[in-house]
Amino acid sequence: MSVRTDVVSLFEQVAAQQKKKLAPLLDELVLLDSGLDSLCLAIIVARLEDTLGVDPFTAAQDADFPVTLGEFIRFYDDAVR
């Protein structure tokens, strides 16, 4: 569960810093509808690399970015495992 906690708190932190209004963080939430733009998502990926020590996007073979929050969290869950 700690990956989820880290991800959720970073979404909240970055939204506050970048003055964005965050949608409720449900698993089905489409990231592009979360209220955060792609730069915010990049900040989250950079900070997660610091906290979790992984960057699944560089490690991944293809260039697909997860679509929903649930997929995003699973992506990191799989990477830290």
Partner 1 sequence: MRNVVVTGGSRGLGLGIARKLTAAGYRVIAIARKESNQLTSAMEEAERDGPGLLHFVPFDLAEIGEIRRLVTTLRKDFGPIYGLVNNAAIAFDGVLAIMHNSQIEHLVRVNTLSPIVLTKYIVRSMMADGGGRIVNVASVVGFTGYSGLSVYAATKASMLGFTRSLAREVGRLGVTVNSVAPGFVDTAMTQNLDAEQRQQIERRSALRRLPDVDDVANAVEFILSDKAKSITGTVITVDAGNTA
Summarize as ranges the residues that interact with partner 1 (CB under 8 A): 18, 39, 42-43, 45-47, 49-50, 58
**What does DSSP assign to residue 22?**
P
| Contact indicator for 75, 62 with CB cutoff of 8 Å | no
Closest approach of Cβ 28 to partner 1, in Å?
27
Q: Give the shortest CB-19-to-partner 1 separation in angstroms.
A: 10
Closest approach of partner 1 to the CB of residue 44, in Å: 9
Q: What is the DSSP string of 25-44?
A: --TT-BGGGSS--HHHHHHH
Which residue, 26 or 39, has its beta carbon nearer to partner 1? Answer: 39
